[in-house]
Amino acid sequence: MTLSSPQARDYPIQRWVFEDAVGRFDIDLGDSNMVPGRLDALDVPADLELDYGHDRGLGALREAVAGLYGGAADSVLVTQGAQQALYLVYAALLTPGSRVIAFRPGWQQSWDVPPELGCHVELVGFRPDLSFDVEAAEAVAGPDVRLIVANSPCNPTGRRIAEKDLHGLVALASRTGAHLLLDEEYALDLSRSAAVGSDRVISVSSLSKVYGFPGLRVGWLYGPPDVVERCARRKFLSTISNSVLCETLACDVLAHRERHLRSYHELTRRGLALVRDFARRNADAVTLVEPEDTPFAWLWLTTGEEPLAMCRRALDRGVLLMPGETLGASDGFRVCFARSPEAVAEGLGRVERVLRPSSPAAGSVPAR
């Protein structure tokens, strides 16, 4: 079994989340972040001066982020979430006619934004075992390649890029004069990032996924200082700086990083056990791809139904899932298990009744 081809039918994630699903679910197993944190768990000085801050991010925050990589603050630019960091890299490194190599399924931005900048995107898939197909990337590379984009651990497969494949992509970037852009939103140990000490690799991450603070909209890029400088100029022309309040709260999150990671590990451990049980009970309908330290898992849908259609029926029962069509795939769906065990169990129970609508238990619990 393999993921759908790079030409799989799309369904915009923006439409699914912000139009179709709004107000229709009480259990969120769709968003890929740790259960959201609360403001009362963070500390902010009452006398904080709400000025413009700094265009590259507060010094204390840049130092804290640099510490995650074991590097220097001049390699860090704080952004409005990882999304802006990725966009700034595209804007800084690409010119009309540039070629981009991206892996699909993945994050829609990597194949939607470059064409808007006048660039051509070569989409490559994964090997049957869901490892990154570096040979396919090499086959489409040429002298006009300026950027190679990879997400590790991968959204939606939940699999990390193997060291040999990572080395292959770094070598490909060096050989073609391109940069390798690593979306490392779900990486737990950024000190192992290929961006550390490299003049060809850029890492992007944030506080949204593992830490569970997407509402702070605090992300960053870490890379060669010259790339950081080019991105900083473009950030200034768009948003000038981030919120001083949000960046101060972000400093508090990273100051208590170990506490947040303990909560993450505990929730994901218990949630993944429930997903494994769900997959075993429904082995004739779904197949679990074992995730590698992600808060979500990919489930092949083997019933013959389109994932979008199944996820719409789950939404009718008040459960948000992420259909593969929103991530460039058409044969499975993503489920997030970094939630309370009670929410995961109830949500998966409802999904089970969606998969088996004719079973006696299917009508025993109302949709909402």
pLDDT value at residue 1: 38
Name the H helices within 320-364: 341-355
CB-based contacts of 65: which residues, under 8 Å, 6+ apart? 57, 73, 76, 78, 220, 222, 254
DSSP SS3 for 23: coil
The ranges of the chain with pLDDT < 70 are 1-9, 358-368
pLDDT value at residue 10: 84
pLDDT value at residue 359: 56
Q: Record the tokens describing residue 329, joined without a space.
A: 């795939």
Q: Record the tokens describing residue 351, joined without a space.
A: 């999904």
The span from the CA of 202 to the CA of 214, in Å, is 21
Q: Which residue has the tokens 């190679």?
A: 148
pLDDT value at residue 291: 97
Listed in order, strand segments (DSSP E) in 104-239 are 120-124, 145-151, 179-183, 201-206, 218-222
- Is-contact 48 58, C-beta < 8 A? no
Question: C-alpha angle with apex 337: 265 to 334, nearest 5 degrees?
Answer: 130
Q: Which helix (H) or strand (E) holds 76?
A: strand 76-80
pLDDT value at residue 126: 95
Q: Which residue has the tokens 């890299």?
A: 89
Q: Record the tokens describing residue 147, joined without a space.
A: 């950027």
